[in-house]
Amino acid sequence: MNFLDFVVLIGSLVAIAAFGAWHTRRHRNLDHYLRGDETVGWLTIGVSVAATQASAITFISTPGQGYQDGLDFVQNYFGMPLALILIAAVFLPIYRRLNVYTAYEYLGRRFGMRTRLLGAALFLLQRGLAAGITIYAPAIILSTVLGWNLGLTIVLTGLLVIIYTVAGGSQAVSLTQKWQMAVIFGGMLAAFAILLIKIPASLSDSFTIAGTFKKLNAVSFSLDPSRRYTFWTGVLGGFFLSLSYFGCDQSQVQRYLSGSSLRESRLGLMFNAVLKIPMQFFILLLGVMLFVFYQFEQPPIFFNQAAWRDAVRHDPGDQLQALELQFKYASRQEEQHIVQWLKAKRAGNRAAEASARGIALADMSQVNAIRTKAENAMKKADPGVKSNDADYVFVTFILNQLPHGLIGLLIAAFFAAALQSKSAELNALGSTTTVDFYKHLLRREAGDAHYVAASRWFTFFWGLVAIAFALFANLVENLIQAINIVGSVFYGVFLALFLVAFFLKHISGTAIFWAALAAQILVFVLYFFLNISYLWYNLIGCAACVLLGLVIQAFLPNTQTPEPAP
Amino acid sequence: MKSTEEHAGPVDPSGRGRLVPAFESLAESQNEITGLPGLPRWSHVYFFVFACFVLWVSLLLILTVLYS
């Protein structure tokens, strides 16, 4: 990165944060601070909902996922449009008419205080963990690649987001998210365009190469339960994950409750229901095209070059350097055979085409075998090293292939993505702590100014917790998967609380409280002992909680006392 | 599936009945005008979104079949 890149990076991030903080600095009451006076239109809600979900992980890690495994991750989002329809039709009108600040207030009115606090506590635990990951994820990658100090990157990113979220509340979050999304999509589209220009093959040939190497397998109807992404895990597991995330997670509920009317909130959700699958497809396709690009350009043997150099230093026998030479030779051979294959294809020589394609596939197997050997040797040389380098693919391309200025814009886009999801999470964590715990348990009768101040302090507190978590985080999984795994472990039970509240009126607060605790323990146990796609835990947790609720209710007299309506 | 919110009436002290304040039914909120050209009711909007979902999945399936 040069001076121009730093000007673009710092200029765009600070300008957006200052804009958000300045425009929303005056908050008269709690309603304005937590819901922005419900004045937001559908497009802002739609962008805000998308921005809250799309963290930096989405834009850094998803192209790497596409590079490594192709398009199959897109199936993860198949349940989302269906879930959003249900939320728009059922959840949203109820939340709006009850005029709640948090989704958990509804649980209190339906089941009583204990279940409200359980729901809010599950949210704080799950979202507090995820908030740490969303700040850690871009920082670890960018600091590694750019040579920045990791701790300093985490602290500075965290402080920037804390400042404008604490100052401006919910409205600042929505306002800044719109501009941050503009920076992100501007950068991503520019990177995609340059990538396509740089690939020395037509779009049709690029698709043929990607398809031959099994990178375009977007839909699978496999019934293998250990396979992570299939049509079934996507539609069923993804449906429950999305229903829980968008319907019950305060970081999302707070986004669409800020709408000026039910219509605006619904349209904001439908905007996401239509556009999420193509958006994820586009980001994964970017990764697939990166794969095609690196068939013509020498890729590094390990995209996390800082980790590779460290491992080489710790390798006394020079085995890693020998493997790197083998890798370079095998990659060059593969490139030559791909060029021959495309020439034969264009000439219409079927026999030569089939032969060259077969050789290229064999070359790819050899390249992959050398990479696997190198990863194992790296682990041997340095047991602490992460062998998954998919998260570094896109950043490596940006730094090595894009012109200056655009590099700054893309790095700004990653930080903007980190800030936008982080701000919504902090805003929701602060709101839930204030409304469901502080206002409810500690100070029931205080003025609005007091609650706004409390909310600001809790937002600040959660910001510090996230920074502290990020400073001590150490992840093994690909980052986009890590955040979904954390969600899936908690979300099933979380969702069941709301589904029972909405649809099973005879189940009491006592029954659902104990059912939720038992189901959550069951999910934890299964997670450590079963080898199934994590998306299934959404379904398992939800089903277990509902069934246990029904069973416990059958043995209990119903004596619950719901909270009075305000 | 019917939401518990659709059952109007006062709070039942036994806790078995309706537990939240009365408000108009969900069905009524579905009948609100959307203001969208060609999609006057919310059920039309949901159908449109579902059709888009089917279209995306179909296109992805075609892509998978064409290049596998």
CB of A540 closer than 8 Å to CB of A523: yes
Choose, out of B46, B48, B65, B66, the residue to mutate when testing the contact with A (most A CBs < 10 Å): B46
Q: Which residue has the tokens 């959003």?
A: A84
Separation in Å, CA A207 to CA A63, A515, B59: 16, 50, 15
For residues A242 and B21, the model is more confident at: A242
| pLDDT given at position B22 | 37
CB of A463 closer than 8 Å to CB of A162: yes
- Partners of B39 in the beta sheet? B36
| pLDDT given at position A217 | 92
| pLDDT given at position A313 | 83
> Exposed e or buried b for every residue in A384-406, given b needs 16+ CB within 10 A?
ebbebbbbbbbbbbbbebbeeeb
**Following CA atoms A80, A81, A84, A86 in sequence, which dihedral angle do they give, to the nearest 10 degrees?**
-110
Any B CB within 8 A of A216 CB: yes
Any B CB within 8 A of A26 CB: no
The token duo for B46 is 């949901």
For residues A288 and A114, the model is more confident at: A288
Judged by CB atoms closer than 8 Å, whether chains meet at A273 and B18 is answered as no
For chain B, the distance separating the N- and C-terminal CA atoms, rounded to the nearest angstrom, is: 40
Any B CB within 8 A of A94 CB: yes
CB of A130 closer than 8 Å to CB of A475: no
Helices of type H across A199-261: 203-212, 231-232, 238-248, 250-257
Q: Of A97-111, A164-178, A193-207, A422-436, where does mean pLDDT reach its minimum?
A: A164-178
pLDDT band at B3 (very low <50, low <70, confident <90, very high): very low
Q: Of A244-248, A323-327, A477-481, A532-536, where does mean pLDDT reach its minimum?
A: A477-481
Share of chain A above pLDDT 70, in %: 92
| pLDDT given at position A559 | 56
The pLDDT of residue A327 is above 90: yes
pLDDT band at A80 (very low <50, low <70, confident <90, very high): very high
CB atoms closer than 10 angstroms to residue A55? 29
CB-CB neighbors (< 8 A) of A556 in chain B: none
Any A CB within 8 A of B47 CB: no
Give the minimum alpha-carbon distance from A527 to chain B in angstroms, rounded to a whole number.
29
**B19, B32, B45: residue with CB nearest A562:** B19
Gap between the Cα atoms of A231 and A218, Å rounded: 9
- Predicted model pTM: 0.82
Judged by CB atoms closer than 8 Å, whether chains meet at B46 and A82 is answered as no
Any A CB within 8 A of B31 CB: no
The pLDDT of residue A37 is above 80: no
Separation in Å, CA A199 to CA A204, A291, A293: 12, 10, 5
Gap between the Cα atoms of A247 and A272, Å rounded: 13
Q: Is A162 helix (H, G, I), strand (E, B) or coil?
A: helix
Mean pLDDT of chain A, nearest integer: 85
Any B CB within 8 A of A87 CB: no
| pLDDT given at position A186 | 86
Mean pLDDT for A46-75 is 87
| pLDDT given at position B1 | 40
Identity of the highest mean pLDDT range in A158-167, A196-205, A245-254, A372-381: A196-205
Give the minimum alpha-carbon distance from A398 to chain B in angstroms, rounded to a whole number.
27
Taking alpha carbons only, the member of A119, A495, A66, A55 closest to residue A285 is: A66
Gap between the Cα atoms of A429 and A250, Å rounded: 8
Give per-residue pLDDT as tens, A465-497: 888 887 876 554 555 566 677 778 888 898 899
For residues A152 and A20, the model is more confident at: A152
Q: Of A256-265, A442-451, A541-550, B22-31, where does mean pLDDT reach its minimum?
A: B22-31
| C-alpha R_g of chain B | 20
For residues A62 and A29, the model is more confident at: A62
Q: Is A320 helix (H, G, I), strand (E, B) or coil?
A: helix
For residues A328 and A441, the model is more confident at: A328
Gap between the Cα atoms of A513 and A416, Å rounded: 39
The pLDDT of residue A245 is above 70: yes
| pLDDT given at position A291 | 95
A363 class by beta-carbon count within 10 Å (0-12 exposed, 13-18 middle, 19+ buried): buried
Taking alpha carbons only, the member of A5, A88, A262, A58 closest to residue A180 is: A58
Any B CB within 8 A of A506 CB: yes
